[in-house]
Amino acid sequence: MSRAYNFCAGPATLPESVLRQARDEMLDWRGTGMSVMEMSHRSDEFVQIAETAEKDLRELAGVSDDYAVLFMQGGASSQFSTIPLNLLGENGSADYVNTGIWSKKAIAEASRYGKVNVVASSEDSGFTTVPDQSSWQTTADAAYLHYTPNETIGGLEFDFVPDSAGTPLVADMSSSMLSRPVDVSRFGVIYAGAQKNIGPSGLVVVIIRKDLLGKARRETPTMMNYQVIADNGSMYNTPATYSWYLAGLVFKWLKEQGGVKAMGEVNLRKARKLYDFIDTNEFYANPIDPRFRSWMNVPFTLADDALNGEFLKGANARGLLNLAGHRSVGGMRASIYNAMPESGVDALIDYMTEFAKERG
């Protein structure tokens, strides 16, 4: 068996030791004679798995008892409507910052439920920068302020947490969760689709300040009502048990790596290495304002687009997979989440060096 370096933006590479453990426990979880997949979600065994995962996540991310942690389904996209349904109230409005394709999707969905004020946008720059917070036109009565700390497609990442002046701050941390330390107490809601730094797709982790529970609009589907999900320990219906278990294994792995701070240091080193290489090799380019370059998703172009196919073919042949940029933007993108080892970045740089030498 050989493992490739998988640079996919999501579903993304998982730690090999996690996959091995899942394999070893597949048929018989710790002497129960059952796979986790086959267990009742109400069983003592699964409740223990679920509670341990939540405890480890709380410890890793520094989540206090003022917050509920929910393990929901439907991916991050379902949260684009769950958030307004729960937080907007009957006639409320919300502020949104538009820094890329995922922000736009969140804005479009929220607009179905109430007034959305786009308080800042970097669309004019082609989403290559984050608008300075001094220019944001926030509204005093907004129910919340939503932003996307890391735009997975554009490779644009905030290097600061916005000051929301008392308005609950809501963040789509799908592609940056657990990649570096974040002060959770600054946020009203954090949500993250699992398939980058947490586990399998479909699962979405929501961290919500408890005073924001219980405000859902009447028509909110029960399965989208944060209060209901919190009251039922994320088991109002049958949760995504196996994904929850795998997320728990990833949290344990992250603790073994030294936690989020240690991981952040490795992530910064990996990202710097790759951007430094791109900046010094004239065959490659990255368009993002250096201050806001993503640590997780590194888009780059070749000097000649006509060589894209050849570049990807050569990369695949070396076991460097899924480097094509998002279909909406083209070019290349290397996603280097927590589970991508530094040796993967080194292998990519070696290949890029060679390719530029031969074809540049």
Ligand X SMILES: Cc1ncc(COP(=O)(O)O)c(C=O)c1O
What does the binding site for ligand X look like in residue numbers (CB under 6 A)?
Answer: 10, 75-77, 102, 148, 152, 172, 174-175, 193, 201
- CA 253 centroid distance within chain: 17
- Tell me whether residue 71 or residue 351 sits nearer to ligand X (CB atom): 71
- CA 304 centroid distance within chain: 31
- Tell me whether residue 56 or residue 172 sits nearer to ligand X (CB atom): 172
> Catalytic site residue 105?
no
What's the Cα-to-Cα distance from 97 to each of 179, 301, 329, rounded to whole Å?
22, 26, 21
b/e map of 225-243 (b: 16 or more CB within 10 Å)? Answer: bbbbbbeebbbeeebbbbb
In the DSSP assignment, the letter for residue 91 is S
- Tell me whether residue 131 or residue 202 sits nearer to ligand X (CB atom): 202
- Tell me whether residue 54 or residue 157 sits nearer to ligand X (CB atom): 157
Q: Find the residue with minimal CB distance to ligand X.
A: 75
CB of residue 73 vs ligand X: minimum separation in angstroms? 10
Task: Order the strands of the 297-302 sheet from edge to edge.
Answer: 284-285, 297-302, 332-335
CB of residue 151 vs ligand X: minimum separation in angstroms? 6
CB of residue 131 vs ligand X: minimum separation in angstroms? 18
**Angstrom distance (rounded) from CA 200 to CA 194:** 6
> Catalytic site residue 196?
yes
Q: Which residues contact 194 (CB under 8 A, 6 or more apart)?
A: 200, 201, 202, 203, 204, 205, 243, 247
> Catalytic site residue 29?
no
- Tell me whether residue 57 or residue 352 sits nearer to ligand X (CB atom): 57
DSSP-derived pairing of the beta strands 332-335 and 297-302: antiparallel
Among residues 29, 56, 95, 172, which one is catalytic?
172
CB of residue 107 vs ligand X: minimum separation in angstroms? 12
CB of residue 174 vs ligand X: minimum separation in angstroms? 4
Among residues 196, 244, 253, 270, which one is catalytic?
196
Length of the chain: 360
Among residues 102, 244, 253, 295, which one is catalytic?
102
**Angstrom distance (rounded) from CA 279 to CA 163:** 32
| Active site residue ranges | 102, 172, 196
